[in-house]
Amino acid sequence: MKAIAAYKYYDAETLQEACATLNQYAGKAQVLGGGTDLIDWMKRRFMPTPDILVNIKKIPGLSGIKEEGGALKIGATTTLTDIIENSTVQSKYKALADAAMKGPAPPIRNMATIAGNLCQHVRCWYYRWPDWYCYRKGGPICFAPAGRNIAHAIMEQKVCNAVVASDPATALAAMNASVTVQGTGGTREVAVKDLYVVLGTILKPDEIITTVTVPEAPSKQAFLKSRVRNAVDFALVSAAAATTSKGTTVALGGVAPILVAGSPDDVNAAIGKAAPLSENKYKVSVAKAMVKRVTA
Ligand SMILES: Cc1cc2nc3c(=O)[nH]c(=O)nc-3n(C[C@H](O)[C@H](O)[C@H](O)COP(=O)(O)OP(=O)(O)OC[C@H]3O[C@@H](n4cnc5c(N)ncnc54)[C@H](O)[C@@H]3O)c2cc1C
Ligand code: SF4
């Protein structure tokens, strides 16, 4: 691994300052959360080194977990460990605690922030290698269909076959959670299930996730994850279900570049239309079985 190329570093003290700096560097700046994904890809140099990292962890009020008006509010820089250990999350939002727990190993969970987890880059092995210039990097091709694709998408592929890597995203989508996004032009609320688009997230270069909101504690919930190594590994397929006053929502991770979420019937219908690649037909039956189990 090469040394990281030179970059500037800025400790933002307010959200306005952070957004203004991101705006000034117009796409050549990156928000720094725990750095467990960002610093890794800067070292591996599979993406251009940002001109500047904007650290948001010193901004007052961005970390912490509280219940407010029946909703759970999680600050963007709250770590996965804080989420796992929080008694309210454990007792009322267990699917989220389980998803964070079944995510990365403890040393990474201690540093990784919930917003950084949602915004982490995909784990496609072609993408994470400097010499493979694929669609997601602005190149002319996706290498997965004709290459190794055991961990890739079975639906919603369009141009890219990589999958959403965040386990908490699957649980949060099932819980109808949203993120508050702040930019230089103001704030907006985005459903977690709509955060991902085919080649990344809906975030603009000057935008920061500030809060994750779960609107209601589910009366019933479950999270399941299938992976190669049970001790620690990214999901081959993850599934979550949550029942609230609005009904039951199911979400699937590890199957598409976006989150697949909706009623159990909608999600089963989406699985029925799956278009697996040469090595990943097994994901269709795993997804079907997991939907059955999380909704049982
Ligand atoms: C060995 C290993 C195994 C792992 N296994 C799993 C797993 O099984 N399941 C899983 O879910 N994850 C897994 N992860 C990923 C890990 O959870 C992420 O690296 C971590 O959550 C990223 O959080 P961070 O705060 O360190 O983000 P950073 O590395 O700081 O940032 C990641 C990205 O998010 C952006 N970002 C950060 N904060 C914000 C914000 N507030 N608003 C907008 N953009 C932001 C950054 O600019 C960057 O692009 C694994 C990681 C490793 C290294
Ligand atoms: S699956 Fe996506 S990230 Fe992977 S090679 Fe294809 S375009 Fe690139």
Taking only the tens place, the pLDDT of each residue in 78-121 is 999 999 999 999 999 999 999 999 999 999 999 999 999 999 99
Task: Work out which ligand 2 atom sits closest to the CA atom of 147.
Answer: 5
**Does residue 122's CB lie within 6 angstroms of at least one atom of ligand 2?**
yes
| Cα–Cα distance, 73 to 212 (Å, whole number) | 6
Nearest CA to ligand 2 atom 8: 134
Residue 1 has pLDDT above 80, yes or no: no
CATH number of 8-58+65-294: 3.30.465.10
Taking only the tens place, the pLDDT of each residue in 224-244 is 999 998 878 899 999 999 999
Residue 31 has pLDDT above 70, yes or no: yes
In order of 1, 149, 289, the CA distances from 174 in angstroms are 38, 26, 17
Nearest alpha carbon to residue 155 among 257, 292, 282, 289: 257
Taking only the tens place, the pLDDT of each residue in 259-290 is 999 999 999 999 999 999 999 999 999 999 99
Structure confidence at residue 3 (pLDDT): 79
**Does residue 238's CB lie within 6 angstroms of at least one atom of ligand 1?**
no
Q: Where are the beta strands (DSSP E) in the chain?
A: 8-11, 29-32, 52-55, 65-68, 71-75, 178-183, 186-191, 196-197, 200-201, 208-214, 220-226, 237-244, 247-253, 260-262
Residue 2 has pLDDT above 80, yes or no: no
Across the range 191-218, mean pLDDT stands at 97
| Furthest C-alpha separation in the chain | 52
**Does residue 115's CB lie within 6 angstroms of at least one atom of ligand 1?**
yes
Task: Work out which ligand 1 atom sits closest to the CA atom of 234.
Answer: 8
Query: Which ligand has the minimum distance to the alpha carbon of residue 256?
Result: 2
Model confidence, pTM? 0.97
Task: Work out which ligand 1 atom sits closest to the CA atom of 62.
Answer: 41
Concatenated DSSP letters of 82-103? HHHH-HHHHHH-HHHHHHHHTS
In the chain, what percentage of residues exceed pLDDT 70?
99
